Structure 1
Amino acid sequence: MTTLPDGCHGIDIGGTKIEIVSFDAAMCEVHRERVATPGQDIVAFSQAIHTLVRNADAALGARAPVGIGLPGITDTFTGRQLSTNVPALNGRQAHRLLQHTLERPLVIGNDCQCFALCEAAGGAADGLPTMFGAILGTGAGGGYCADGKLMRGLNGIAGEWGHWSLPAALLARHALPLIDCPCGKVGCTERYVSGPGMSALHRHFGGDAAEPIALAARANAGDVLAARTLAVHLDLLGHALANIVLAFDPHAIVLGGGLSNLPHLYERLPEAVQRHLLRGVQAPAILPPRFGDAGGARGAALLLRQQLDTIPHP
């Protein structure tokens, strides 16, 4: 991996917060700052990024290159940002905008892929030949890494498992409807297995809109409806992760996002995955993240280091 003598900055941009972390040449953290995301105002958004990087330069003592993790995907042909939960960026050429704002070497990647890279290089899957990082939060996304490096694919979207469709037979087994997805498809996996997806399942079965942590607590206390919700969610998620095994055959799957804090997933998910696999195929280890929700900025910095040799210098 490329050495940056003066260090680098990683930025994790989300719908509610922007966090920057500065690292020295050995990838030791030297500075961290977080602000609320000005999600509607592009001028305020650009100024927030500029101020964060200026402060980080001062803390690092150098004008350093930047890696940025963004939600959504970038259109390969136009460079415009799609499906972002930062409305100010939606439809804009994010790389060109931020390059103009920061005037330095810059790499932008998907935030879920940055999570995967963080956990592959020094994280829960460190040292494994391959891994898949599966985010289970407001949505479902992820990334695939081999030998500690992110594999992005032709369109840069490798790992977008949240928009694989669940089969009609599986939905019929649990008497579930086809649900429209903002991406334009129907029956997308993330509409059922994400945090809001689990809450939607509970409502569908006649319950309230409780959050997943509350549902897990109720199930542990003997609530039959909450237990049913968790069982169905586990079956759907097991099927989805089994497809990841068939597609990528990773040595481990590391969970991220809010649902990664649910202990029952690590206890019961391996068996749920195994039920949907071919005979003779072994489910990989399913691991909690080492860096949790603090890994996005680190992953963005690692992506920068991975791609530094291909960055055009202004």
Structure 2
Amino acid sequence: MAEASHSGICYGIDIGGTKIELVACDAALEVRHRRRIATPQGDYAGFLAALEALVADADAELGHSGSAIGIALPGVRDRRSGRQLSANVPALTGQGVAADLQARLRRPLHFGNDLQCFALSEAHGGAAEGYPSMFGAILGTGAGGGYCLQGRLVAGYNGLAGEWGHWSVPAHLLQRHGLPVLECACGLRGCVERYVSGSGLVALHGHLGGTAADAGAVIALADAGDARARQAMTVHLDLLGHSLAALVLILDPHVIVLGGGLSQHAPLYDALPAAVAAHLFNGVQVPPIVPPRFGDAGGARGAALLAWRPALS
């Protein structure tokens, strides 16, 4: 597959709800430079300026100018208007992010979805290397993912293939656990990500009367024997198991690679196969569910891969 024509370095930028990461990669996807900054909140002009400064700093440090850039944007882009919808970075919603960045950065830009870029990275040299198909399931600030067949992204008609976080949790599961129907920033109600993401785990703990500030605190409390935290973890596992079972029934991937902060919780990999199997009919095998090889850097690396090999998207 043909590589992009440039100076030997491509940049990948991963834009998340809490951080923006830039990596500079050579043709072998070896990282030559990395920098993270906090995602500007509620300020679109500040967001554009921050990305421009991030690229300028990389240019200055590496002595490159005009390097092609892959940019992993959160959410989806309306293919007719070019405007972005982003539940986790609300400042981008309604903005022509791709056009505005192109005007500022003035170099070849290749855009992808942040979650899909994570999946692409893990399909190339990552935990899903060698599998005919894979699904990358992110469990971070939100929940979403990407699907690859033979190493190529399947983006879909709207470019949102893999947005499993915006399926609805079935009413019977909400009733089983006595949960409310939560509003989602996407405009829908009862979305999976409101319950199974890292922030969803915190919401479950809060619903049960807990006060943990983040998912790590819930896990630590559960490990220490706190009853509310343990119940939150049990409910979370059931809802996550159902959600991944639905992925198996729809896509039947050969492997599922977890990403995001919750992917670092090692006991999850022991518990998930049975939790998924509980929501599948007899005879359906749960595929391997594995941690990412590239951790939090996967989205940026996948974006750089888009810049090197645009035909993968």
TM-score normalised by length of structure 1: 0.92
The separation in 2 between residues aligned to 1:40 and 1:199, in whole angstroms, is 23
Aligned to 2:122: 119
Q: How does 1:1-314 map to 2 (within 5 A)?
A: 1-4=1-4, 6-58=8-60, 59=62, 61=64, 63-307=66-310
Cα pair distance change 1:168/1:45, threshold 3 Å? closer
Evaluate the alpha carbon distance shift between residue 281 and residue 178 of structure 1 in structure 2; reply closer, same or farther with a 3 A threshold. same
Counterpart of 1:254 in 2: which secondary structure?
A: strand
Q: Which runs of 4+ in 1 moved over 4 A?
A: none
- Residues 244-290 of structure 1: per-residue CA shift (max 9 Å, x gap): 11111111111111111112210100110011112111001111111
When residues 174 and 215 of structure 1 are mapped into structure 2, their CA distance, relative to the original with a 3 A threshold, is same
1:7, 1:27 within 8 Å by CA — same for their partners in 2? Answer: no
Structure 1: stretches of 5+ with no match in the other structure: none
Deviations 1:204-242 (A, max 9, x none): 223333532232233333333322211111111000000
C-alpha distance in 2 between matches for 1:303 and 1:43? 26
Question: Does the C-alpha gap of structure 1 residues 174 and 11 become closer, same or farther in structure 2, counting only changes over 3 Å?
Answer: same
The answer as to whether partners of 2:88 and 2:141 remain within 8 angstroms in 1 is no
CA positional deviation for 1:9 = 0.9
Distance 1:241 1:308 in 2: 28
- Give 3-state SS (helix, strand or coil) of 1:98's partner: helix
Q: CA RMSD in A?
A: 2.0
Contact conserved, 1:150 with 1:303, CA < 8 A, in 2? Answer: no
- Rounded to whole Å, the distance in 1 between the matches of 2:171 and 2:308 is 42
CA contact (8 A) 2:17 2:141 kept: no
Match of 2:59, SS?
Answer: helix
Amino acid at match of 2:95: R
| Contact 2:66–2:106 (Cα < 8 Å) also in 1 | no
Change over 3 Å in CA distance of 1:266–1:42 after alignment to 2: same
Give structure 2 stretches of 5+ with no counterpart: none
- May I ask how many residue pairs the two structures share in their alignment? 310
Q: Which amino acid aligns with 1:278?
A: F
Q: Report the Cα offset of residue 62 of structure 1.
A: 5.2
